[in-house]
Amino acid sequence: MTLFEFRSSAAMALATVREHKARSLLTVLGVIIGTGAVIAVGSIITGVNGAITDMATAFGPETIFSFQFNLGFRGALKAEEMKRKKFTWELARALAERCPSVEHVSPYLFSPNTFGRGGWVDRAKYGSRDIYNIELAGTEEGYAEGGAQKVLWGRFFTDEESRRRQPVVVIGEHVYKALFQGGDPVGKWIEVDGHQLQVVGVIGNVVGFPGQEDRRVMLPYFTMHKIFPTADEIMFVIMARRGMVESALDEAQSALRQLRKTPPNKPDDFWLSTGSQMLDDFHRITATVAVVMVALSSIGLLVGGIGVMNIMLVSVTERTREIGIRKAVGARRADIVVQFLTEAVVLTGLGGFLGMTLGWLISLGFRLLFPSLPTAVPLWAAALGVAVSVGVGLFFGTWPAMKAARLDPVVALQYE
């Protein structure tokens, strides 16, 4: 087939689309939805992966997390995990002493409300302004180093202030905006669950999921323990020495098994992970979600393909006499097949273009709704959208094209 013949077939297909606008739109509606879903899902997953990557790297490559059960990307807790021994401050000190590749171990004491045992919602207040559902926790000075935190105002509290149980607090950026709405908050006193605490710093590094606000309110460890004596859920933020994260992981695992007296024939009764490992777990989840969403969107493509095949069969019937004339003047079967396949591809190609536009608009909407979600249409999604729309046209246009090519020219010329 020459370029001129292809352009003629494409022009004929476009003329048919313009003549039957509503019919053509309804025909490729499934293709539009299916392609749009592929583009939108691809862009959203790309954005979420980017945000989670930023979150994992924000803690630094030498940071390791450990807890009595898995805090990563997983399903519901098992009954065995809920019965595990809790981490303690003494365990953190012993762990640091036994691991030469570890710089320090910072206990991170959660609020009693974090796991739903406190019976109330943590709240911070300054004057007439307040903010609920804050992420209240107690930790040590080493947390700021391990978390690579960026301090916008003031400083992080010290271990000396923790030992002296000083009523000081460091707040996250969104807590600062909600309570102070600009200006220097250092030295101001805020109320946290009824307790007066002095702000010594504001952390500006947002660590969370897309759309999640940085609502951290952090106290010195022993201050937190003094104010909330029932708080007993502790996570360890382990800072490995530079370039020794793998050694630190091995040493921490071995030391925790010894300190917790885990039997040799039993699996670890604790969770130990780095930011990169959690990132790999998340990527496996998003890959599965992507496969599921593409499979679901294929239903729309299947419906669209059936519609294209139906409309092409109608087109063959309407143009039977035209096909007879073309054959009578020398058109081969291959020419007829290519003509109708070109029309099917043009039809689904237009649907694919509209679907890509729809997916891009959905991606843009998510970016406007969640500014921290860096959505972007990846090249693979755009290429897949084009390939799928063209493939639908070729696959479902084959039967009508073959039917048109097999028409007897004598019979076709007599068709009314």
Question: β-pairing, 234-240 with 63-67?
Answer: antiparallel
At which of 269, 293, 326 does a domain end?
A: 269
**Which H helix or E strand runs over 125?**
strand 123-126
Same domain assignment for residues 221 and 91: yes
Verify that 108 and 220 share a domain, yes or no.
yes
Q: Which domain holds residue 257?
A: 85-269
Reported confidence tier of residue 9, pLDDT bands at 50, 70, 90: low
Helix (H) or strand (E) holding 356: helix 333-369
For range 171-175, the mean pLDDT: 89
Inside any domain, residue 78 = no
Candidate from 234-248, 312-326, 368-382, 387-401 with smallest mean pLDDT:
368-382
Residue 146 has pLDDT above 70, yes or no: no
Cβ-count burial 392-411 (b if 16+ within 10 Å, e if not)? bbbebbbebbebbbebeeee
Residues 187 and 294 in one domain: no
Q: Are residues 208 and 100 in the same domain?
A: yes
Alpha-carbon span 281 to 257, nearest angstrom: 23
| Same domain, yes or no: 135 and 166 | yes
What is the residue whose two structure tokens read 């390939």?
387
Give the pLDDT confidence score for residue 163 in this predicted structure.
93
Residue 159 exposed, middle or buried by CB count within 10 Å (0-12, 13-18, 19+) = middle
Q: Would you state the pLDDT for residue 60? A: 65
Same domain, yes or no, for 105 and 134?
Answer: yes
Looking at the structure of the chain, the number of domains it has is: 2
The DSSP string of 199-219 is: EEEEE----SSTT----EEEE
- What value, to the nearest 5°, has the Cα angle with vertex 232 and ends 228 and 235? 115
Do β-strands 135-139 and 216-220 pair in parallel, antiparallel, or remain unpaired? Answer: parallel
Scanning the structure block, which residue is given the tokens 């908050």? 185
